[in-house]
Structure 1
Amino acid sequence: MMLCIAVVGPIAFAQSSGPIEDPTPAIQTPPPQASDSEIKTRISGIFDEIATLRKVTVDVSHGVVTLGGEVANTAAEVRAEEIALRVNGVVTVENQIERRLSVDNGAGPFFGDPSGRLDKLYRALPLYGAALAVFLFLALLGHLVASWRSLWRWALPNPFLEELVSGAFRILMLLVALVVSMNVLGATALMGTILGGAGVIGLAIGISVRDTLENYVSSIMLSVRQPFRANEHVVIDEHEGKVMRLTSRSTILMTLDGNHLRIPNSAVFKAVILNYTRNPERRFEFELGVDAADDPVAAMQIGLDRLKAMSFVLSCPEPEALVQTVGDSNIVLRFMGWVDQRQTNFAKARGLAIVATKDVLEEGGFTLPEPIYRVRFDSGVEDALKSAKPESRGAGAAEQPRVKARPSSNYDSDVAADNTIDEKVDAERASSSEADLLDEQRPVE
């Protein structure tokens, strides 16, 4: 009597609840109401017809179905429970099925009957052929478009970007071809799994090679920005030299002593770059000291007159001089002048300007202070010096008179620009087959 109430109650409730219907058809049992034995017979008969559920045992008591036995995998276990719940008269299902962990069950899908597998493969050959044809067509189309150099050269003015974008387009078309061919085969779920795994692997690789990626991105930015030209005299942080070329990995300089210097592009992109070539006019400066008793204004005027008289010193901008510091025994003057680096060697011009200014100050009666040292002798050393006989000194110890050299008036000799490094850079660029990302047609920053 209690079983009838439990079964009829839900039926009456379903009839009064409205038009909601269960889309899954119920498994019918003999009317008017199935007993426990009938439910057991019905479920056991269904399990006997399913190969993966034949070892499942069924026990029914008061509408509660207890499933036992063993199945090969979790999917079979879930299927058995779903079938039992669809039988009329079942109140609930107690699932006590265990999964078999034997080797034959796990390896069965791989070492099963080969004749069935070959038959399925033979019937699927037309579909596989169609998928392969789609893949090859799209991959070949992507390769041809990526190899169309005139198209990329027209769209992208930079050769490095041209190579980068064309390579990325080729890879993208391969991925599109793979996705479309998998859709033809109906294996979209497998494709999603593969792409998900590839994304995780790509993220791990990206983290591990982040320095290389940073250098690669810096190469792209430098090729677009063009911060310098070939053969320009630059200082990149503490590295100085003439620019030879910009590659996809590094910037190559030739130092002023003729050596090759490679700087990673990531360091170049973040570095402070000083370019001496961009403005051909360059200022040199140096400091000279005069005695504290001398007139610094007169000394500056004499020095400036000499600088203005030198042929390699530019008249516009004019040379300048100022008082740098005033010390206890000297006054430090700073002299500044400009030269044209295209015609004048900067280092030689500065050196000759220092010599010429020093000589003219000395000729004008100004004293260039020398370092003053105070020497202290112990009492024993002092007594020994006093008792020393004059004849004990050698003939070479006699003090020689100081002869002051006459200043030379040829201060404009040999200041022509030195093009040795420029010629070496041009020769290296002409003989090397390494790609250069510097483009003379693009504007520089």
Structure 2
Amino acid sequence: MNSLIQQIQSSLLNLLGSTIEVLPGLIGGVIIVLLTRYSADGIQQVTAKIGERTIRSQSLQLLLAKMSYVATWVVGVLAASVIAFPGLRLGDIIAALGLGSVAVGFAFQDIFKNFLAGVLLLVQEPFRINDQVIIENYEGTVEKIDIRTTQIRTYQGERVLLPNATVFTSAVQVRTAYGQRRTDLGVGVDYNTPLSEAAQLLEETITQVEGVLSNPTPEIDLVSFGDSSIDFVVRYWTLPQQQRVRQVQTRAIIAIKKAFDRADINIPYPIRTLYFYDQQRFNDYLPLSQDEASN
């Protein structure tokens, strides 16, 4: 009985001694992880400031900052592991990571897929921060390209987070990719209007609207004979931002209506012409009367 008690005491003492021996390393590892947490944020901010001074592309600045953040965490975790477990060598850690990469890849394939897609979006720059885009059914301004998602602010003030893999594989319409953007504004005039005079008036009016660019020059096209009007399309160019496009279109509609009113040009309502006649008289299946038969 005494020997059993002594054996238990010896085991507890050995366990306590092992714990005391390992405890400094564990404390050191925890301290390194905490330092890494704050260091990663600081290094990311410093890298972002350096990128702003040396790199013109805002997307590459963001990519550099994100990569420095991830690299700091990787180095910190490896250092903490080596200090917390002195018998563990750096080569053993790398080998373990290599063996577990397949399992981790299957478990986190969506995360890795979105991460790689985000890196490619930042490197290739199909669009940039503050560009106005249409992706699938979402339209708005690109605010941020993160490691996993692309953040869009819609024109209604809503935030939309799209997975980077979805953005990378979808058709993206970049509405602010160029310095100007065209608007096609339909206008109808009645059939009694002299078309050459109407076209000239439209051209003179649209060129005087504030916000319409002189280069490329506006164009006036006749496109169709409508049910109640002959239809023009006024094609003009503005700055590409959505707010500018809306404001200029409003001014253009007001200016065209005023010009047509002064020139006594009518913008017709939809019209249908109805003809009334005696259906009995034109019915071929009714028998003829005596007078009609004699004729």
TM-score clears 0.5? yes
Question: What is the root-mean-square deviation of aligned Cα atoms in Å?
Answer: 4.9
The 8 Å contact of residues 160 and 220 in structure 1, kept in 2 or not, is answered as: no
Are residues 1:221 and 2:120 paired? yes
TM-score normalised by structure 2 residue count: 0.60
Alignment partner of 2:111 out of 212, 215, 232: 212
Name the SS of the counterpart of 2:269 in structure 1: coil
Maintained 8 Å contact 2:183/2:235:
yes
Measured after TM superposition, the shift of residue 286 of structure 1 is 0.6
Cα 1:145/1:328, change in 2 over 3 Å: closer
1:199 to 99, 107, 110: 99
- 3-state SS of the aligned residue for 2:105? helix
Equivalent-residue separation in structure 1 for 2:163 and 2:233 (angstroms): 38
- Partner in structure 1 of residue 224 of structure 2: 325
* Structure 1 residues 175 and 224: CA distance shift in structure 2, 3 A: farther
Structure 2 vs 1, CA of residues 161 and 338 (structure 1 numbering), >3 Å: closer, same or farther? same
Does 2:209 align with 1:296? no
1:155 to 1:329, Cα distance in 2 relative to 1, 3 A = closer
Cα deviation for residue 164 of structure 1 reads: 1.4
Distance 1:180 1:324, change over 3 A: farther
Aligned to 2:253: 354
Q: Deviations over 1:104-155 (max 9, x none)?
A: xxxxxxxxx9x99x99xx9xxxxx99xx79x98x979x97899876888889
SS in 2 for 1:181: coil
Instruction: Please report how far the alpha carbon of residue 303 of structure 1 lies from its aligned counterpart in structure 2 after TM superposition.
Output: 0.7
Give distance in 1, aligned partners of 2:195 and 2:153: 43
- 1:305 and 2:187 are equivalent in the alignment: no
1:164 alignment partner, one of 66, 70, 79 = 70
1:325 touches 1:331 (CA, 8 Å); kept in 2? yes
Q: Assess if the C-alpha contact under 8 Å between 1:255 and 1:261 holds in 2.
A: yes
In structure 2, C-alpha distance between the alignment counterparts of 1:154 and 1:306, rounded to whole Å: 53
Q: Deviations over 1:33-77 (max 9, x none)?
A: xxxxxxxxxxxxxxxxxxxxxxxxxxxxxxxxxxxxxxxxxxxxx
Instruction: Write the distance in 1 (CA, Å) between the matches of 2:37 and 2:187.
Output: 65
Residues 69-118 of structure 1, C-alpha deviations (whole Å, 9 max, x = no match): xxxxxxxxxxxxxxxxxxxxxxxxxxxxxxxxxxxxxxxxxxxx9x99x9
The CA deviation at 1:333 is 1.0
Residue 350 of structure 1: CA displacement? 0.5
1:253 aligns with 2:152: yes
Unpaired segments ≥5 residues, structure 1:
1-112, 123-127, 380-445
Label 1:225 to 1:261 Cα distance change in 2 as closer, same or farther (>3 A). Answer: same
1:220 counterpart SS class: helix
**8 Å Cα contact 1:292-1:328 kept in structure 2:** no
Task: Specify whether residues 180 and 317 from structure 1 end up closer, same or farther in structure 2 by C-alpha distance, changes over 3 A only.
Answer: same
- Compute the displacement of 1:316 (Å): 2.9
> Structure 2 matches for 1:229-240, cutoff 5 A?
229-230=129-130, 232-240=131-139
Residue type at the aligned position of 1:229? I
Q: Residue by residue, what CA displacement relative to the aligned partner does 1:249-307 show, whole Å, maximum 9, x if unpaired?
A: 32333322222332223323334444444545433221112334544333211111111
- Normalising by the residue count of structure 1, what TM-score does the alignment of the two structures yield? 0.43
- Out of 121, 141, 153, the position equivalent to 1:242 is 141
In 2: Cα distance, 1:155 partner to 1:361 partner: 59
Q: Deviations over 1:143-199 (max 9, x none)?
A: 78998768888899511101112223345557778999368xxxx9xx79x949x83
Residues 228 and 271 of structure 2 are in contact (CA less than 8 Å); yes or no, is this contact kept in structure 1? Answer: no
- CA 1:329/1:146 → structure 2, altered by over 3 Å: closer, same or farther? closer
Contact 2:135–2:171, Cα closer than 8 Å, also in 1? yes
Asked whether the 8 Å contact 2:144–2:151 carries over to 1, the reply is: yes
CA deviation after TM superposition for structure 1 residue 347, in Å: 1.2
User: Aligned to 2:253, what secondary structure does the other structure show?
Assistant: helix
Query: Aligned partners of 1:355, 1:305: CA distance in 2, in Å?
Result: 14
